[in-house]
Chain A
Amino acid sequence: MMSEVFLPALLPLVPLALALLAPGLVRARPRASTALAAAVLAAGAVAMVARVPGLEPLREAWPWVPQLGVEIALRLDAFTAWFAALVLGLGACVVLHAGGYLMHSRHLPGVVAALSAFTLAMLGVILSDNLYLLFLFWEATSLLSFLLVGFHHEKEEVREKASQALLVTLAGGACMLAGIVLTHAHFGTTSIVGLLERSGDGSAATLSAGALVLLLLGALTKSAQLPFHFWLPNAMVGPAPVSAFLHSATMVKAGVFFLATLAPLLSGHPLWTPLVAGAGLLTVATAVLRGARESDLKALLACTTLAALGFLTLLAGLGTPAALLGFVIFLTAHALYKAPLFLAAGNLEKTFGTRRLEGLVGAVKSAPFTGLAFAISGLSLIGLAPLPGFLGKEYLLKATWAHSPILAVATALAAAGVLGLGLKLMLPLLDWRRRPEPKKALPLFMTFAALLPALGTVGLMISLPATTHEFLGAAATALGAPEDAAYKLWHGWTPAFGLGMGALVLAVVVWRVLVRPNLPPLPDSLQPIFEPAFDNLIASIRALAAGAARLLQGGRPGLQIGIMTTAIGLLAFVGLDAASWDFPAADPAAGTGVWLLLAPVAALAAWLASSARSTLTLLVALGFVGLIVALMFLWFSAPDLALTQLMAETLLLFLLAGVLKKTGVQATASPFSGGRALVALAGGALVTMLVLKAMALEWDRPVSDFHLTHSKPAAYGANVVNVILVDFRALDTLGEILVLAIASLGATAALGAARRRSALPFDSDSAWLATAARGLALFALPVSLWLFWRGHNAPGGGFIAALVAASALGLLLLVRHPRLDAKRLRHASLRLSVVGLLIALGSALLPVISGGEFFTGLWWHSGDLHLGTPLLFDLGVYLTVLGFCLGFLRHFQPNATQSPN
């Protein structure tokens, strides 16, 4: 059936569409759009709940990176559908609440979008059937919760706490990714369904402890378990709806979800239960100790969340069918009571202007609807029968008793502490003797949003006896509870019931202790140590980074470059195999005379360039270096290179001279430095050795031979170098001219409009120079065209021809040719670049239109004349390079309307 197969895939699209549409819609119609978004999410929740009865597990997968085992795989069974319904339903309440809570904030559209995206990420975690895909959504929840928690980002404290939460969860996530890779390697699959099929075959026991610990680091950081618990109470700095969502159905629940999902498989590992269950139980204890000293409503609620997460982790750590049965009811009950508690806390804060318990005594009476939500949820938290919270506690104790009575007693003691916290939280607000004055009326959205999930608690309580097999029981069975699981209120006089009653009685005693206002401070041995340790760690990493930056980037690029070149040089030297030498054979035709001439001149020029005392010496030295390189190209059979080198060198010196003259930057070398000389000479010697090695090698040259063989018959060009550029490797060339065009744009951006007023830096009023320049330009332009035309068969081509033309224009600029004014040059350079790129691209696309492949040459023949798209491409190169050169040269052109002072 279509709808069945695609449902898991379509479901996440709902919040995705919301996230994309929300900013625009909410800005235009805040109330209506927020209500609509909530309604859409709620509809998704209803659809999901309706799918739960009789749902056979579905799976759908699309390949992504098959080599790495990454696929887009989604699964849906009764449990994931139930959990998804919780996420969507509470998401609806939270969005609705945010619509009231942040009604006057201009950030509301962003928050609604972020909440929708957060819902999407959480659904992704739940529905993924590939561990890598799950990881992606996992990290997305961390990032989005950072945005949401950091809502009041103008406050320093909020930024710190949000960053802390992000760092803890992301560090855990990174560990988890490593754990996933190791798990993948061990089990040979990344599918959760596939992994769970291996449950009980003993393969989990041989998983390395490292892999297990890495996975757990991810899950325990996310679910805020000891020793990573501290981020959760700190994340209270977020707005109330955000806290409600993070604490009830998302974020921290992703952690326990991951644990419970893999529990049937991984509880086969000997370390699983001690580590996970231990962390859970210790977290509960920490939460009680911490909560006993809190008098801030939200902080106290956060401590009860920590405790609930501890219990859920404990159940996942046991991993038995009975424990998973308890997990589902505890999770559901907690999600349904924690969301309204936080939303109601937000309402009370808005109404009475405080979150302190002392200020809220009797608040339920003054804010009846919010109070009702608070009361129902609070009673469920305390675990009063027949509310779902009671069932959660009951099945928790049952599962632990089945594991070991000692554990069950410990759990009951911990539960007593948590119930004590619940009483501390509830009773002052339910105090009927007092009635605080409300300071503000609440938007309807907020009251309604808080009441809705509380009504869900009531609904679950009423419907549970009749529907337990179809809904919750089916969900529990899908997670790994026994077949035909069902929840019953009354089990007879079991030890679990006794422990539960005992915990309740003890809780009253605990509460009498806990509400004492002057509770002694914690003894030193119980002071929090993990949070300061984490903060110190982060602080030292920051200090290390700052120190490294000061050392390496303290305004001395030489140090940085020196370290890099030395490191590269050492690496190259190690790989050089300096012991064996095989000197290259010289081409006898090349002769030695030319070397005896060129090499000393090159050495002298290099020496001068490194120690030049004046700008002129430097320019002459650089010119000589360039000239000698060009002569080498010419002598060793590379006429195209020689021409390109000559032209590029000319233009470069023109630009360099202009810039130095204009800016007055001193080109003189700084005083001699022995250290620098040592590094430089060592580098030079190393390169000399490398070149000798490289030249002595006999290269296998199938590519070059292919080019030589096919140049004439396939590409109708005798000049193989040009054919390579415009035909065989034309895509590379296209990329290159694109880079040139971008460099030219970058220069324009860097210099901006201010430069247009600049004048030519050279005094060039000499008449004979002007005449000579014009004559030369007149000669150079036809030469440029000629070089372009012959390029395919003889030395020349688009690059060279364009550089020749640019040099001619440079000369004309030097003598202030009247027709080269600023505006015209700017337009010309831009147009040439764009037109050139378009022509080059068009020549590549033409064959596509006629059914060939990108960059296939199309040819038209007439006798000895061969015209084809490669020639067109070369024209594109010509124009782009010319435009690029003009783009730089024009910064030196004189302004006709300005006196050249």
Chain B
Amino acid sequence: MPILLAITIGLLVAAGLYRLLGPGRIDALVGLILLGQAANLVLFASGGLRHNAPALITEGMAEPTDPLPQALVLTAIVIGFGIIAFLLTLVLRGTGKEHDA
């Protein structure tokens, strides 16, 4: 049911955009996390969704799924994590609470 996946991604995008546009202090952060998840799924879905056909070369395997989007998404997850982690340190810095420990 690819249409359900598409709708799920759409909902994640909607939730992400809603938070991203919000005025709160960490709205942008939460929005970016959600949009990041959605973007990863979009990239992943573009490779075609196949069940039980991982890109592992084994004897007698019919046709594995497209490995390229997976490689892209894997790095995207880690980079996305890096960006959010960096933004979090900015939140930490921006609140000016670093001296009250």
B20 to chain A, nearest CB (A): 6
Which of B18-65 touch A at CB < 8 Å? 18-30, 33-34, 37-38, 40-42, 44-58, 64-65
Residue of A nearest to B84 (CB): A652
- B26, A645: Cβ atoms under 8 Å? no
Chain A residues whose C-beta falls within 8 Å of the C-beta of B19 in the assembled complex: 609-610, 669
- B24, A652: Cβ atoms under 8 Å? no
Extra 9 A-B pairs, beta carbons < 8 Å, given A637-B65, A639-B54: A595-B4, A632-B5, A656-B84, A684-B11, A686-B10, A695-B46, A707-B68, A721-B55, A752-B98
- B83, A599: Cβ atoms under 8 Å? no
CA distance A701 to B90 in the complex (A): 41
A776 touches B (CB below 8 Å): no
- A688, B95: Cβ atoms under 8 Å? no
Chain A residues whose C-beta falls within 8 Å of the C-beta of B22 in the assembled complex: 558, 669-670, 673, 676
- B18, A676: Cβ atoms under 8 Å? yes
Chain B residues whose C-beta falls within 8 Å of the C-beta of A587 in the assembled complex: 48-51
Q: When each residue 744-756 of chain A gets 1 if its CB lies under 8 Å from chain B and 0 otherwise, what string results? A: 0011001110110
CA distance A458 to B99 in the complex (A): 75
Interface size on A, residues (CB 8 A): 115
- A669, B24: Cβ atoms under 8 Å? yes
CA distance A795 to B67 in the complex (A): 12
- A739, B58: Cβ atoms under 8 Å? no
- A718, B57: Cβ atoms under 8 Å? yes
Looking at A291-299, A729-737, A853-861, the stretch in contact with chain B turns out to be A729-737
A-B contacts at CB below 8 angstroms, number: 314
- A751, B2: Cβ atoms under 8 Å? no
A584 touches B (CB below 8 Å): yes
User: Given A603-B11, A683-B17, A692 and B3 touching (CB < 8 A)?
Assistant: yes
Chain B residues whose C-beta falls within 8 Å of the C-beta of A712 in the assembled complex: 57
A656 to chain B, nearest CB (A): 6
Q: When each residue 585-613 of chain A gets 1 if its CB lies under 8 Å from chain B and 0 otherwise, what string results? A: 01101111001101100110011011000
User: Given A587-B50, A725-B71, A652 and B85 touching (CB < 8 A)?
Assistant: yes
- B74, A799: Cβ atoms under 8 Å? yes
- A732, B75: Cβ atoms under 8 Å? yes
- A718, B56: Cβ atoms under 8 Å? yes
- B41, A565: Cβ atoms under 8 Å? no
B59 to chain A, nearest CB (A): 10
User: Given A558-B22, A606-B15, A795 and B6 touching (CB < 8 A)?
Assistant: no
Q: When each residue 47-85 of chain A gets 1 if its CB lies under 8 Å from chain B and 0 otherwise, what string results? A: 000000000000000000000000000000000000000
- A703, B68: Cβ atoms under 8 Å? yes
CA distance A556 to B13 in the complex (A): 21
A832 to chain B, nearest CB (A): 15
Among B52, B80, B82, point to the contact of A884 (Cβ < 8 A).
Answer: B82
A679 touches B (CB below 8 Å): yes
A768 touches B (CB below 8 Å): no
Which of A696-727 touch B at CB < 8 Å? 699, 701, 703-704, 707-708, 711-712, 718-721, 724-725
Q: When each residue 425-456 of chain A gets 1 if its CB lies under 8 Å from chain B and 0 otherwise, what string results? A: 00000000000000000000000000000000
B24 to chain A, nearest CB (A): 5
- B85, A670: Cβ atoms under 8 Å? no
Chain A residues whose C-beta falls within 8 Å of the C-beta of B71 in the assembled complex: 721, 724-725, 729
**Interface residues of B: mostly helix, strand, loop or mixed?**
helix
- A598, B77: Cβ atoms under 8 Å? no
Interface size on B, residues (CB 8 A): 83
CA distance A331 to B96 in the complex (A): 65
Chain B residues whose C-beta falls within 8 Å of the C-beta of A584 in the assembled complex: 2
CA distance A659 to B33 in the complex (A): 15
- A667, B30: Cβ atoms under 8 Å? yes
CA distance A670 to B24 in the complex (A): 7
Residue of A nearest to B17 (CB): A680
User: Given A680-B14, A684-B11, A644 and B74 touching (CB < 8 A)?
Assistant: yes
CA distance A794 to B58 in the complex (A): 10
A891 touches B (CB below 8 Å): yes
Chain A residues whose C-beta falls within 8 Å of the C-beta of B92 in the assembled complex: 659, 662-663, 751, 755, 891
CA distance A659 to B89 in the complex (A): 8
Residue of B nearest to A558 (CB): B21
Chain A residues whose C-beta falls within 8 Å of the C-beta of B85 in the assembled complex: 651-652, 655, 743, 747, 888
- B98, A754: Cβ atoms under 8 Å? yes
User: Given A641-B74, A724-B68, A663 and B41 touching (CB < 8 A)?
Assistant: no
Residue of B nearest to A758 (CB): B101
Q: List 20 A-B contacts (CB under 8 A).
A: A586-B2, A602-B11, A607-B15, A632-B41, A637-B64, A638-B65, A639-B54, A667-B30, A668-B24, A680-B14, A684-B14, A685-B10, A687-B38, A711-B67, A725-B74, A729-B71, A736-B78, A743-B82, A755-B92, A884-B82
- A636, B51: Cβ atoms under 8 Å? yes
A848 touches B (CB below 8 Å): no
- A707, B74: Cβ atoms under 8 Å? no
B97 to chain A, nearest CB (A): 5
Interface residues of B (CB under 8 A from A): 1-30, 33-34, 37-38, 40-42, 44-58, 64-68, 70-71, 73-75, 77-86, 88-93, 95, 97-99, 101
A681 touches B (CB below 8 Å): yes
CA distance A599 to B97 in the complex (A): 40
- B54, A589: Cβ atoms under 8 Å? no
- B66, A701: Cβ atoms under 8 Å? yes
A117 touches B (CB below 8 Å): no
A664 touches B (CB below 8 Å): yes
Q: Which of B30, B48, B79, B89 gathers most chain A CB within 10 Å?
A: B89
- A625, B51: Cβ atoms under 8 Å? no
User: Given A618-B30, A708-B57, A636 and B93 touching (CB < 8 A)?
Assistant: no
Chain B residues whose C-beta falls within 8 Å of the C-beta of A673 in the assembled complex: 21-22
A629 touches B (CB below 8 Å): yes
Q: When each residue 640-663 of chain A gets 1 if its CB lies under 8 Å from chain B and 0 otherwise, what string results? A: 110011001001100110011011
B3 to chain A, nearest CB (A): 7
- B46, A688: Cβ atoms under 8 Å? no
CA distance A587 to B26 in the complex (A): 39
A759 touches B (CB below 8 Å): yes
CA distance A687 to B77 in the complex (A): 19
CA distance A639 to B92 in the complex (A): 34
Residue of B nearest to A690 (CB): B42
- B18, A680: Cβ atoms under 8 Å? yes
* Interface pairs A-B: 5 shortest CB-CB: A684-B14, A688-B10, A680-B18, A606-B15, A590-B51
- B98, A758: Cβ atoms under 8 Å? yes
- A695, B86: Cβ atoms under 8 Å? no
Residue of A nearest to B98 (CB): A754
CA distance A663 to B91 in the complex (A): 8
CA distance A558 to B22 in the complex (A): 6
A562 touches B (CB below 8 Å): yes
CA distance A898 to B99 in the complex (A): 14
- B86, A746: Cβ atoms under 8 Å? yes
- A652, B33: Cβ atoms under 8 Å? yes
- B86, A743: Cβ atoms under 8 Å? yes
- A636, B23: Cβ atoms under 8 Å? no
A618 to chain B, nearest CB (A): 7
- B26, A660: Cβ atoms under 8 Å? yes
CA distance A746 to B49 in the complex (A): 38
A553 touches B (CB below 8 Å): no
A455 to chain B, nearest CB (A): 66
CA distance A707 to B55 in the complex (A): 10
Chain A residues whose C-beta falls within 8 Å of the C-beta of B68 in the assembled complex: 701, 703-704, 707, 724
CA distance A670 to B93 in the complex (A): 22
Chain A residues whose C-beta falls within 8 Å of the C-beta of B18 in the assembled complex: 610, 676-677, 680
A574 touches B (CB below 8 Å): no
Chain A residues whose C-beta falls within 8 Å of the C-beta of B11 in the assembled complex: 602-603, 606-607, 684
- A625, B17: Cβ atoms under 8 Å? no
A696 to chain B, nearest CB (A): 8
Residue of A nearest to B97 (CB): A663
A579 touches B (CB below 8 Å): no
CA distance A625 to B11 in the complex (A): 11
CA distance A614 to B73 in the complex (A): 31
CA distance A656 to B26 in the complex (A): 10
- A606, B84: Cβ atoms under 8 Å? no
